[in-house]
Structure 1
Amino acid sequence: MRFFTLHERPARPGGDPEVLAVASGFRWWAAVVPPLWLLWHRLWLGFALYMLFSIVLGIALAIGDIADPAATAIGLAVSFLIGAGAADYRRWTLQRRGWRFGGVLRASDAAEAEALYIRNRGAGLTAAPPVAVTPSSPQAFPPAVLPRGGSSDAFPRLL
């Protein structure tokens, strides 16, 4: 089971709002083939920035006369970072396009998460009651006053 964030597009006149579930975690396809993943999810700004970054990185590696193993390591690191941040970039893009954050659910796949969200939409899925946290004892740590003798038994001197 995975965690999904649910996003809701505002309803058009005479229609129901559209719901989209975005899974948390690493995106293997975004790491392996970033341009195709970005185009598939219609992340045009991300695609343009990726292409610009790839061109600049290629020129910098050529000008700097970087050895092939180091260039491969840099490319793998960039791919790893893209795969790690792909879901967050998709959420940011949805928010920028006007989609409203609906909540977080745990489900086995996106279709189940969307169905659970639609079924429980009016049940206050995102609103959780605040939890009051009270300390078990009023004692502050570390103690404000050292014990007599100017040394603390909790931290004895080693010399």
Structure 2
Amino acid sequence: MPVYTVHAPTAYGADLRATDRFSFVRDGFHVWAALLGPVWLIWRRLWLALIGWIIVILAIDVAMTRLGTGGAAIFLANLLIALLMGFEAASLQRWTLSRGNWRQLDIVVGDDEEQAERRFFDRWTAKQRGLSNDQSAVDRGGPPPTRDIPGQPFSKPPPPLPQGGIIGLFPEPGGSR
């Protein structure tokens, strides 16, 4: 299962107003970052990493050409840099977020980003409810409260149990089917 790190902007703090800005960064190998490094960096808006990638590729290609190495060696060096880009893409994202004053809130495991978000927000909202008295939070999972108010449909007593006290298909214990 992939591991995700959860980041939040520090300008808004980690509260309910900033939840739409939380960022989930998947750890592991990023295939598109390895295959299309500069396009992936532009797509993720990692501008300093893009400038660094361009400088490193140009420096290595120029240095290897001046040293007189063959085209196969230059291709192999570029392939190794692409593999390194694929392995370190998540680290570049986290580095860029930390430079932008984002802080890491948590680490979550999930099959995909949606499941990781669900797990994170389940745990995070439970922790937030414990810290403050949130009057806007409503528990929607339980039945309505039972009160003895005449005329209310939920205040009627339950029907009485049958004679033997057993409910279901087999009214007698050990009876025939």
Relative to the length of structure 1, the TM-score reads 0.71
Which of 43, 48, 61 pairs up with 1:40?
A: 43
Root-mean-square deviation over aligned CA pairs: 2.2
2:8 aligns to what?
A: 8
AA aligned opposite 1:76 = L
Q: Percent identity?
A: 28
Residue type matched to 1:16 in 2?
A
Secondary structure of 2:69 counterpart: coil
Match of 2:65 among 37, 62, 67: 62
Give the conservation status (yes or no) of the 8 Å contact 2:37–2:82: yes
Question: What letter corresponds to residue 94 of structure 2 in structure 1?
Answer: R
- Number of residue-to-residue matches in the alignment: 125
Q: Structure 2: how far apart are the matches of 1:48 and 1:116?
A: 35
2:95 is equivalent to residue 92 of structure 1: yes
CA contact (8 A) 1:3 1:106 kept: yes
In the TM superposition, residue 119 of structure 1 has moved relative to its aligned partner by 2.5
Q: Determine whether 1:83 maps to 2:72.
A: no
Are the counterparts in 1 of residues 2 and 112 from structure 2 also a CA contact under 8 Å? yes
CA contact (8 A) 2:57 2:78 kept: no
Q: Show structure 1 runs of 5+ residues with no match.
A: 126-159
2:156 alignment partner in structure 1: none
In the TM superposition, residue 115 of structure 1 has moved relative to its aligned partner by: 2.6
Q: 1:92 to 1:124 in 2, by over 3 A?
A: farther
1: CA distance, partners of 2:74 / 2:18: 49
The structure with the larger Rg is 2
What is the 5 A alignment of 1:2-151? 2-10=2-10, 11=12, 15-17=17-19, 18-124=21-127
SS across alignment from 2:17: coil
> How much has 1:5 moved relative to structure 2?
0.8
